[in-house]
């Protein structure tokens, strides 16, 4: 989706579709001399949240998509209505639409938030992943949205539009990577996609191959990767938009391009969804793409731990003990708890860049889905300020997380008789104990972990990547600028 700003009198617009609330629609109809027709067409319209009505006109505005409940809606109602408007708009045979909701006041929210919310809704509704269909006809034609601004809010809307285009590009990348099948999207494919980001001038992309990782002592990463014929990759992207020498913010993504469980093999039902086990990587790449597009004045370090978790004659056995890059040893009791193994070495590597904060993102545990479902990502942090910044970013960007505990009480479940720690806790609090494992590798830095097992993709009829938490990460990074 391409977003632009349009200003000036609404009644002088030329558009196949104007999307607005009832009050504004009435005013326009009156100004255009279409009052009678409009009143007749909207006679039975219930001006309530969740309702919408399409009224055809004869002039330069071909139709109006009228949204119900746009008189002082709450933020939640406005967000729901934005999604409804986007879903209705893409059903229409139009290539372009104008959204005009400057008149709508939302308590506690400004014009930039309203515009951002509308654009994110359009980006989600318009997304399609069609290129593996033998006849890849697009499902809709809508490709351009003009955000109408008044003189009073045009500055805010222009900023929002710039960020809306950047977020759209980031969401698209994250979803495409997530949806791509695992026979295509393997660690080398992720590296190739990262290299594309490196085409921008102030972006440097590098990688560690398996030989290099072995030299660096990344025994935990290698324990996961060694069972696969696809070589693992540690991908490193350095974006320098900020002051030279300023410590970067680091994003670290779990990039298991397929998770069979390894020798601790997963059961067959739903195993195809483990192609989404690289959605952490996809989201940090998506957020990085958005940052580059928006040219944010920050320094950003992005690390993707890309590997495939397969059973084979070379695969790790339950009971194997490996040494991590940090020097700490791990007894691998379950080869299906592989995300934390690739991440611990990626986190240790991130530390060598002296970041001011590290945020890792991972489809880490089924237990997180049990705890929070798909509505919130699980947030863990060893620093309250960082946690609060991420919570606020998620709240603002309609991409929420919920903070979970990292108390020492949980750490003992990782005890091992034979190594410094085991890679699994017990049956209880699986998402927490996974986070506890990671916390042992980032003791001296501000660190947060997002468990996105529930939020990163949909199952069932809507099966597909959600693009989350790109909106949260991008919002957080905008605040760092
Ligand atoms: N990738 C899975 C977690 C997952 C499950 C993500 C379902 C999305 C949907 C992860 O690698 C895994 O297998 N975790 C195990 C950990 C357990 C062995 C301690 C799990 O959650 O069962
Ligand atoms: Mn697993
Ligand atoms: Zn996994």
Residue with tokens 């059903």: 91
Atom of ligand 1 nearest to the CA of 256: 1
Q: How far is CA 85 from CA 7, 66, 92, 100, 233, in A?
A: 21, 9, 11, 12, 42
Atom of ligand 1 nearest to the CA of 274: 1
Residue nearest to atom 8 of ligand 1 (CA): 453
**Residues designated as active site:** 266, 340
Length of the chain: 481
Q: What is the DSSP letter of 451?
A: E
What values do phi and psi take at 85, rounded to 5? Answer: -60, -45
HSE of 47 in the Cβ direction (CA atoms, 13 Å)? Answer: 13
State pLDDT tens for residues 326-384.
Answer: 999 999 999 999 999 999 999 999 999 999 999 999 999 999 999 999 999 999 999 99
In contact, 393 and 476? CB cutoff 8 Å: yes
What spacing in Å lies between the alpha carbon of 375 and ligand 2's midpoint?
21
CA–CA gap between residue 46 and residue 39 (Å, rounded): 13
Out of 3.40.190.10, 3.90.470.20, 3.20.190.10, 3.40.630.10, the CATH code matching 181-480 is 3.40.630.10
What spacing in Å lies between the alpha carbon of 450 and ligand 3's midpoint?
14
**Residue 270 neighbours by CB distance under 10 Å:** 9
* Pocket flag, ligand 1, residue 259 (CB < 6 Å): yes
* Pocket flag, ligand 1, residue 315 (CB < 6 Å): no
From the CA of 307, the nearest ligand is: 3
In contact, 244 and 282? CB cutoff 8 Å: no
In the prediction, which pLDDT does 15 show? 98
Domain 2-152 in this protein, CATH class: alpha beta
- 306 Cβ contact list (under 8 Å, min separation 6): 186, 187, 190, 191, 232, 233, 234, 235, 255, 256, 257, 278, 281
What spacing in Å lies between the alpha carbon of 313 and ligand 3's midpoint?
20
* Pocket flag, ligand 1, residue 365 (CB < 6 Å): yes
State pLDDT tens for residues 287-334.
Answer: 999 999 999 999 999 999 999 999 999 999 999 999 999 999 999 999
Task: List residues bridging with 54 in a β-sheet.
Answer: 65
Which of 339, 366, 435 maximizes ligand 1 atoms within 8 Å of its Cβ, making it the mutation to test the pocket?
A: 366
State pLDDT tens for residues 220-255.
Answer: 999 999 999 999 999 999 999 999 999 999 999 999
* Pocket flag, ligand 1, residue 318 (CB < 6 Å): no
In the prediction, which pLDDT does 112 show? 98
State pLDDT tens for residues 127-183.
Answer: 999 999 999 999 999 999 999 999 999 999 999 999 999 999 999 999 999 999 999
* Pocket flag, ligand 1, residue 367 (CB < 6 Å): yes
Residue nearest to atom 17 of ligand 1 (CA): 337
- Parse the chain into domains and list their residue ranges: 2-152, 181-480
Atom of ligand 1 nearest to the CA of 434: 19
- Where are the extended beta strands (E) located within 68-117? 96-100
What values do phi and psi take at 347, rounded to 5? Answer: -65, -45
* Pocket flag, ligand 1, residue 451 (CB < 6 Å): no
What spacing in Å lies between the alpha carbon of 480 and ligand 2's midpoint?
33
In the prediction, which pLDDT does 175 show? 99
In the prediction, which pLDDT does 452 show? 99
* Pocket flag, ligand 1, residue 24 (CB < 6 Å): no
Position 50 confidence tier, pLDDT thresholds 50, 70, 90: very high
Can you spell out the DSSP letters for 354-416?
--SEEEEEE---HHHHHHHTTTSEEEEES-HHHHHHHHHHHHHTT--EEE----GGGGGGG--
| CA 278 to the chain's CA centroid | 12
Residue nearest to atom 22 of ligand 1 (CA): 366
What spacing in Å lies between the alpha carbon of 187 and ligand 1's midpoint?
19
State pLDDT tens for residues 56-87.
Answer: 999 999 999 999 999 999 999 999 999 999 99
> Of 351, 350, 360, which is closest to residue 254 (Cα–Cα)?
360
In contact, 470 and 287? CB cutoff 8 Å: yes
Residue nearest to atom 3 of ligand 1 (CA): 365
Residue with tokens 């603002």: 396
Mean pLDDT of the chain: 98
End-to-end CA, the chain:
25
Q: How far is CA 208 from CA 189, 235, 304, 312, 328, in A?
A: 15, 7, 10, 23, 21
Please indicate, yes or no, whether the overall pTM of this predicted structure exceeds 0.85: yes
Cis? peptide before 11, omega within 30° of 0? no
Per DSSP bridges, beta strands 18-21 and 63-67 are parallel
* Pocket flag, ligand 1, residue 366 (CB < 6 Å): yes
* Pocket flag, ligand 1, residue 453 (CB < 6 Å): yes
Q: What is the mean pLDDT of residues 266-285?
A: 98
CA–CA gap between residue 461 and residue 231 (Å, rounded): 33
What spacing in Å lies between the alpha carbon of 336 and ligand 2's midpoint?
4
**Residue 412 neighbours by CB distance under 10 Å:** 10
What spacing in Å lies between the alpha carbon of 176 and ligand 1's midpoint?
22
């Amino acid at each position: 989706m391409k977003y632009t700003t349009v200003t000036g009198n609404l009644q002088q617009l030329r558009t196949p579709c104007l999307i607005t609330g009832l009050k504004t629609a009435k005013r326009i109809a009156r100004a255009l001399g279409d009052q009678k027709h409009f009143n007749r067409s909207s006679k039975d319209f219930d001006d309530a949240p969740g309702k919408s009505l399409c009224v055809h006109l004869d002039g330069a505005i071909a139709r109006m998509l009228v949204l119900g409940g746009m008189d002082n809606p709450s933020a939640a109602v406005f967000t729901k209505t934005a999604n409804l408007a986007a879903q209705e708009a893409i059903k229409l045979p139009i290539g372009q639409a104008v959204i005009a909701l400057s008149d709508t006041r939302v308590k506690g929210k400004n014009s930039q938030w309203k515009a951002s919310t509308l654009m994110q809704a359009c980006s989600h509704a318009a997304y399609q992943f069609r290129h593996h269909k033998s006849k890849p006809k697009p499902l809709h034609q809508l490709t351009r949205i003009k955000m109408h601004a008044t003189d009073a809010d045009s500055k805010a809307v222009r900023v929002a539009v710039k960020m809306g285009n950047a977020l759209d590009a980031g969401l698209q990348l994250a979803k495409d990577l997530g949806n791509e099948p695992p026979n295509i999207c393997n660690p080398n494919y992720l590296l190739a996609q990262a290299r594309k980001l490196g085409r921008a001038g102030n972006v440097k992309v590098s990688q560690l191959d398996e030989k290099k990782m072995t030299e660096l002592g990344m025994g935990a990463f290698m324990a996961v990767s060694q069972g696969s014929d696809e070589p693992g990759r540690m991908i490193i992207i350095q974006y320098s938009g900020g002051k030279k020498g300023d410590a970067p913010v680091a994003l670290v993504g779990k990039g298991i391009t397929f998770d069979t469980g390894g020798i601790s093999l997963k059961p067959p039902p739903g195993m195809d969804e483990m192609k989404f086990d690289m959605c952490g990587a996809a989201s940090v790449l998506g957020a990085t793409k958005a940052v580059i597009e928006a040219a944010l004045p920050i320094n950003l370090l992005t690390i993707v731990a890309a590997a495939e978790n397969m059973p084979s004659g070379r695969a790790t056995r339950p009971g194997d003990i490996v040494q991590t890059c940090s020097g700490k040893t791990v007894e691998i009791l379950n080869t299906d708890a592989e995300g934390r193994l690739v991440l611990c070495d990626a986190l240790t590597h991130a530390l060598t860049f002296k970041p001011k904060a590290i945020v890792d993102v991972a489809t880490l545990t089924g237990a997180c889905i049990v705890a929070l479902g798909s509505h919130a990502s699980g947030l863990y942090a060893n620093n309250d300020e960082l946690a609060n910044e991420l919570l606020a970013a998620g709240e603002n960007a309609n991409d929420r997380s919920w903070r979970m505990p990292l108390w020492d009480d949980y750490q003992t479940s990782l005890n091992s008789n034979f190594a410094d720690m085991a890679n699994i806790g017990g049956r209880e609090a699986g998402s927490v104990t996974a986070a506890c494992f990671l916390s042992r590798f980032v003791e001296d830095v501000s660190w947060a972990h997002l468990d996105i097992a529930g939020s990163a993709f949909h199952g069932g009829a809507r099966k597909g990547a959600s693009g989350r938490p790109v909106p949260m990460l991008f919002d957080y990074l905008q605040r760092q600028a």
